[in-house]
Structure 1
């Protein structure tokens, strides 16, 4: 693919969010360029879409050549994640070219994961699910991709599927201190608890009748978390903290911390409730 100043952002910067892009700065009169260009094209074909080759004719695009300080050609600049990450000048033998490319190119599972994250940013959840599942088919131990999949499944209210995926996470995630897993586990636990709880209005009645009923208050908080009603849930959890720090091994405070992670997209709410929790603990 040839690019120009007008299309460089789309062809290189945006494209490198999905897969590495090698930009070959060349010119028709450059003898070494005629050797390197076909070799790069051959390797692009061999790697089957795991990276892309984009060519810049320096005679037609002097602004691009000047911007990237190209003083001698052929000159290759590698982009990944929207920025230049490596480069070389001259013609390298195929073995060195492969080594250069291998340092840039993610393994197939990581490539699928990268596409999935890009799809999520674009709001394409079905596409993201497809690529997350493909990443895990290639690497069943890819915990980061599985956590993403669990989060998407929960957002889609596919709780049983999310629970099955959580069972496949490695012990280093489930038995360690992984903040993201703990956050997702809070959502799953709240959904599990809510499924067996009385209706929310009945729990509210129980708490109103007996404000010291911490079991009912905690059940109500779980029901509210399952509905993503985080602020009223935090109200009840903070009340548990104030009334009895020992209740269920300080479950009020611990659950509040998990809710802060769940509500991270609402920083003002989290900041306000962190202050209230801190005040209650002092």
Structure 2
């Protein structure tokens, strides 16, 4: 069942290129890995459906095909016991998978469960609009307050108001609005990011000053609690790289500390830090450490 090289968003994954083509690529877009073989009957049913979905979703995910006969090392690394087996890699990590051939409807449900929705074809995407003049944050809060008063049933406006309040330091009211959002908006990427910011700020409520934390780390480099608080302080203060470096040091010293706090701190920070290049670099470093 050879894969046509011209098929969009589908490629053959090999052992020597797996780190770059799948793990690193998954930091930008989810990668579905299809373990198959030419002699496998169910693979001949599943493969074309997966390739059709890869085309239909227009780059919302990529499909990596692994021929288990040619790539036995990869199959052994993933402990493949039967084929077809499909696994999903996101953000440099294996997050889910299933054995056997599923029908198209169940495959779409699997993708939807992991937040993967069909994208827009490149040739039909709307043209970028001219950059708008920056809004005055206080004026935006006032505008949104009036909009919420006029249409209190529109929860989207309350989310917009919460985000605007965060921009002017209104953390308490922003949290109240976010906590009251309906379930469909509570998982919105903007709401998740706002909660992460609020949670970071809350951690510092009774935290020692940076100088005290630095002294504690100098006396005991394995004081991961101090490293965590110092990292949070650095990120809240705008020094994202210094904060991420503290979290990376935690991950390297003890990834299981406090029920996986080092990894959680990094992921929360990735939601907050606006520098995409910096986030991408630390995502790759985190992935490399976790895969060791």
TM-score by length of 2: 0.50
Closer, same or farther: CA 141–208 of 1 in aligned 2, 3 Å: farther
C-alpha deviation, 1:121, in angstroms = 5.2
1:150–1:166: 8 Å Cα contact kept in structure 2?
yes
More helix by share: 1
Closer, same or farther: CA 268–211 of 1 in aligned 2, 3 Å: same
- CA–CA distance in structure 1, aligned partners of residues 201 and 266 of structure 2: 16
C-alpha deviation, 1:187, in angstroms = 1.0
1:85-104 to structure 2, matched below 5 A, reads none
1:115-130 to structure 2, matched below 5 A, reads 122-130=134-142
SS in structure 2 of the partner of residue 250 of structure 1: helix
- CA–CA distance in structure 1, aligned partners of residues 269 and 153 of structure 2: 27
C-alpha deviation, 1:141, in angstroms = 4.9
- CA–CA distance in structure 2, aligned partners of residues 161 and 171 of structure 1: 19
Closer, same or farther: CA 251–180 of 1 in aligned 2, 3 Å: farther
2:268 pairs, out of 244, 250, 258, with 258
Quote the residue 2:180 is aligned against: 168
C-alpha deviation, 1:237, in angstroms = 0.9
Higher relative contact order (CA 8 A, sep 6+): 2
1:150–1:162: 8 Å Cα contact kept in structure 2?
yes
- The alignment status of 1:241 with 2:231, answered yes or no, reads no
Quote the residue 1:232 is aligned against: 242
Instruction: Render the CA deviation track for 1:57-96: whole Å, top value 9, x for unaligned.
Output: xxxxxxxxxxxxxxxxxxxxxxxxx99xxxxxxxxxxxxx
- The alignment status of 1:278 with 2:287, answered yes or no, reads yes
C-alpha deviation, 1:166, in angstroms = 2.4
SS in structure 1 of the partner of residue 197 of structure 2: helix
Quote the residue 1:142 is aligned against: 154
1:187–1:225: 8 Å Cα contact kept in structure 2?
no
Quote the residue 1:113 is aligned against: none
Displaced runs of 4 or more, over 4 A: none
SS in structure 1 of the partner of residue 257 of structure 2: coil
- The alignment status of 1:216 with 2:258, answered yes or no, reads no
Closer, same or farther: CA 147–237 of 1 in aligned 2, 3 Å: farther
Structure 2: gaps (5+ residues): 1-125
C-alpha deviation, 1:212, in angstroms = 0.8
C-alpha deviation, 1:236, in angstroms = 1.0
- The alignment status of 1:152 with 2:161, answered yes or no, reads no
Closer, same or farther: CA 204–141 of 1 in aligned 2, 3 Å: farther
C-alpha deviation, 1:173, in angstroms = 4.0
Instruction: Render the CA deviation track for 1:169-206: whole Å, top value 9, x for unaligned.
Output: 224444xx443322211211111111210111111111
SS in structure 1 of the partner of residue 208 of structure 2: coil
Structure 1: gaps (5+ residues): 1-81, 84-119
- The alignment status of 1:189 with 2:193, answered yes or no, reads no
Count residues in correspondence. 164
Closer, same or farther: CA 251–140 of 1 in aligned 2, 3 Å: farther
- CA–CA distance in structure 2, aligned partners of residues 255 and 141 of structure 1: 35
Quote the residue 1:132 is aligned against: 144
